[in-house]
Structure 1
Amino acid sequence: MPWAMLILSGALEAVWAAALHRASRAAGSRRLVPAAVFLVSVLASTAGLAVAMQTIPVGTAYAVWVGVGVVLTSAYAMIAKVERATAGRILLLAGIAACVAGLKVAA
């Protein structure tokens, strides 16, 4: 259960990063929804990380949380055409994902 919480919290990290991106590009009252999504998801993401750290060692938990967030945030940026989806970038992100899976196996 702590690992599922950690993966979900990492996914929420990508949600708050995407919401922050949208809020920074919106104007006026159009910022309210992405700002609210940012606030809720950053709090939930951090809380989930804290819960997972009660069972999973801090270094492992933080590395997995960040790794999941990085891969999903980068995927969002490529799908949204904010960043280019190059073969090198995709290969390196796959390497991060493999390292995150390796941390689970090694734990």
Structure 2
Amino acid sequence: MNWLLLILGGIFETAFAMCLGKAKESSGTETYLWYGGFLACLIISMLLLIKATQTLPIGTAYAVWTGIGAVGSVIIGIFIFKEPATFWRIFFLFTLVSSIIGLKYVSS
């Protein structure tokens, strides 16, 4: 159950990164709404991380949480913000995902 909470927390970490990108692209009141989304996602993400670390090792949980956020942010960047999807970006994204999966399997 705590792994599921950790994955959900990582998804919210990706969401707060997306909100920052959208706030940068917007203006006026819309900017403040994106910043509000950022704060909401940040709080939810942190609370889920805190809950998950009650039973998971902190080092593993934090690495998985940030890894999900990093992978998600790159994917959001490619598909929403039209960032380049070069061979090397995809290659290192794959190695990051492999490392996250490896950490999950070697942790009790």
| Cα deviations by residue, 1:39-74 (Å, 9 ceiling, x for unpaired) | 110000011001111111111010000000000100
- Identity fraction in percent: 36
TM-score (norm. length: structure 2) = 0.94
Name the amino acid aligned to 2:106. Answer: A
The 5 A counterparts of 1:1-107 are 1-107=1-107
| Structure 1 alignment gaps of length 5 or more | none
Partner Cα separation in structure 2 for residue 95 and residue 9 of structure 1: 21
Name the amino acid aligned to 1:52. Answer: A
Name the amino acid aligned to 2:91. Answer: L
| Structure 2 alignment gaps of length 5 or more | none
Q: CA RMSD in A?
A: 1.0
| Cα deviations by residue, 1:12-62 (Å, 9 ceiling, x for unpaired) | 101000001111221111113212211110000011001111111111010
TM-score (norm. length: structure 1) = 0.94
Name the count of aligned residue pairs.
107
Moved more, 26-35 or 85-94: 26-35
Name the amino acid aligned to 1:35. Answer: Y
1:85 counterpart SS class: coil
Partner Cα separation in structure 1 for residue 82 and residue 14 of structure 2: 14
1:84 counterpart SS class: coil
